[in-house]
Chains A and B, each alone.
Chain A
Amino acid sequence: MSENKIEIKNLHKAFGKKVVLDGIDLEIKKGESLVVIGGSGTGKSVLIKCIQGILVPDSGSIKVDGQEIVNANEEIRDAMHGKMGMLFQGGALFDSLTVWENVAFGLIENKRMPRKEAKMEAVRLLRQVGLTPDVADLSPSELSGGMQKRVSLARAIATRPEIIFFDEPTTGLDPIMSDVINDLIIESAKGLGATALTITHDMASARKIADKIAMLYKGKIIWQGTVKEMDNTENPYVRQFINGCSQGPIKVEI
């Protein structure tokens, strides 16, 4: 179990003068579920996008399965994307396609699965995330926010990726639906034996799905540990964040 699936070293990313990531060091073991917590706008989504190669970091190293992917050639990056699935913060469903075509996108375009077979697989996946087959032929815009999240989840796990990223999977959902999504994340990650990296500020969700928690603050990982360690930590930043106090070392710029 000591094998690192993802290894990030001294990662930097700035947009113009705005420094977002300022030396991130992070390791995720194979099959582990890591949750990154941190305030709005601290660069959590940017971190995930750097790992995915959607954004190019300014400096630092990201290794997936021991393979360097920063500035890697297209072939290596394509191979990486084949291993990864992503649930986007806003769903990011293709609105020119139907729900089932969204779910089956990776299967049809990359695994070259015949459409008929892919549709059956998509319907099975939709069932797995608790949606009935009759939504399959709808357009994503006809679904509620929670349903879209679930479709997006189904799309993320469709190609059975080895690594799944969840960007705020429960934000904007009611507590019960959040818990349903949490269960789905645990189920799908454990079911596939996948390594999971989840971003959230929903502490209930973090407690439930995390093997390990890391806190991002001012461009650095300032603390990491298990849920139990988090509850006992003396670290004032973590304590303030999990208790949701406005008083403490973290200053909110209003």
Chain B
Amino acid sequence: MAKNIVENFLRKLGKPLVVFIQRLGELSLFIAKAVYNCVTPPFYIKLLGRQFLDIGFYSLPVVALTTIFAGMVIALQTYSGFSSYGAESAIASVVLISVTRELAPVFCGLMVAGRIGAAMAAEIGTMKVTEQIDALVTLSTNPFKYLFTPRLLAGIFVLPLLVMIGDIIGIFGGFLVSVYQLGFNPANYITNTINELQAIDINIGLTKGAVFGFIIALMGCYNGYKSRGGAQGVGEATTNAVVASSILILIFNYIITGMFFTK
């Protein structure tokens, strides 16, 4: 009797578990192959350049907009929280810390995931279902090197730069609110920011940027590559890429913060 219940339970658990482990195995294999191909020739420099432009340059407007408002709203909240006394010196450091350590990396990550992760999955998924990836193989071109390496490398190297730019723009947003809306002294804000700035603020942004960039490109490429069955499959791949990378970004954001600040 009891044995039956256990057996049934295991059976119910079995299938999703097997599928999950299979997926995990597939993904690990994909990562291993992708990383191996990132470090062995031939390299497609021109394609890498195009990805730098796509991921980096064209993401600047959304990154600038999200981070400037993030910085502004933090300045405003800090002011209301600290009352008028002590707010002037607090605003600069609160903006600095929250923008550089959390807001700029997370917003950059999420915006780029929506913009680029989706586009990557759609492009590669379409190439997959229309046999363009098979065509690459028959033309003696390794799809990992031709399609995935440039995207992964661009993701890893461009996101940290975007985060740095987001840091500056976010702090500038705090500065705008502090000086023009709240009427504090601009010179004090700048000195406070510089005095408070630590190496860790930069390092954490760079680390998170690189990790998020890898996650976004990986999820875009992997989901695109696995898509099958025409337009519907590509649509699913696109959704999966964005959802998976957004969730992973938030999880890894927590993990990295934990690694930097709990020693």
Residues of A within 8 A of B (CB): 49, 52-54, 78, 81-82, 84-86, 88-96, 105-106, 109-110, 155, 159
Contact = CB atoms under 8 A, between A and B. Distances in A.
A64 B137 CA distance: 17
B140 A92 contact: no
A155 B131 CA distance: 15
B134 A54 contact: yes
A75 B56 CA distance: 36
A81 B135 contact: no
B130 interface: yes
Contact of A81 (B126, B131, B132, B139): B139
A81 B126 CA distance: 23
Contacts of A96: 123
A110 B134 CA distance: 16
B139 A92 contact: no
A232 to B, nearest CB: 37
11 contacts: A88-B131, A90-B130, A92-B134, A93-B135, A94-B127, A94-B135, A94-B136, A96-B123, A105-B139, A106-B140, A155-B139
Contacts of B132: 92-95
A96 B54 CA distance: 14
A52 B134 CA distance: 9
A25 to B, nearest CB: 24
Interface in B106-148: 123, 126-127, 130-132, 134-141
A78 B140 contact: yes
Contacts of B138: 52, 54, 81, 84-86
Interface size class of B (residues with CB under 8 A): 10 to 19
Name the prevailing secondary structure of the B interface residues. helix
Contact of B131 (A53, A89, A106): A89
A86 B141 CA distance: 14
B137 A54 contact: yes
A86 B140 contact: no
Q: Which of B123, B127, B140 has the most CB of A within 10 A?
A: B140
B229 to A, nearest CB: 13
Contact of A110 (B123, B135, B137, B140): B140
Nearest to A88: B131
A94 B138 CA distance: 13
Contacts of A85: 138
Nearest to B126: A95
B140 A82 contact: yes
A106 B135 CA distance: 11
Contacts of A78: 140
A88 B123 CA distance: 19
Nearest to A97: B132
A86 B136 CA distance: 11
A102 B132 CA distance: 11
B49 to A, nearest CB: 14
Interface in B14-72: none
A94 B130 CA distance: 9
A155 B135 CA distance: 10
A89 B134 CA distance: 12
B12 to A, nearest CB: 21
B131 A92 contact: yes
Contacts of B140: 78, 81-82, 106, 109-110
Closest 4 CB pairs of A and B: A92-B131, A92-B135, A81-B140, A86-B138
A88 B141 CA distance: 16
Given A90-B130, A92-B132, A94-B132, A109 B137 contact: no
A164 B25 CA distance: 36
Given A88-B134, A109-B141, 15 more contacts: A49-B134, A52-B134, A52-B138, A53-B137, A54-B137, A78-B140, A81-B139, A82-B140, A86-B138, A88-B131, A92-B134, A93-B135, A95-B126, A106-B139, A106-B140
B173 to A, nearest CB: 37
A110 B44 CA distance: 12
Given A90-B130, A92-B130, A109 B139 contact: yes
A89 to B, nearest CB: 7
A110 B141 contact: yes
Contact of B137 (A52, A90, A91): A52
A92 B138 CA distance: 11
Nearest to B47: A96
A195 to B, nearest CB: 15
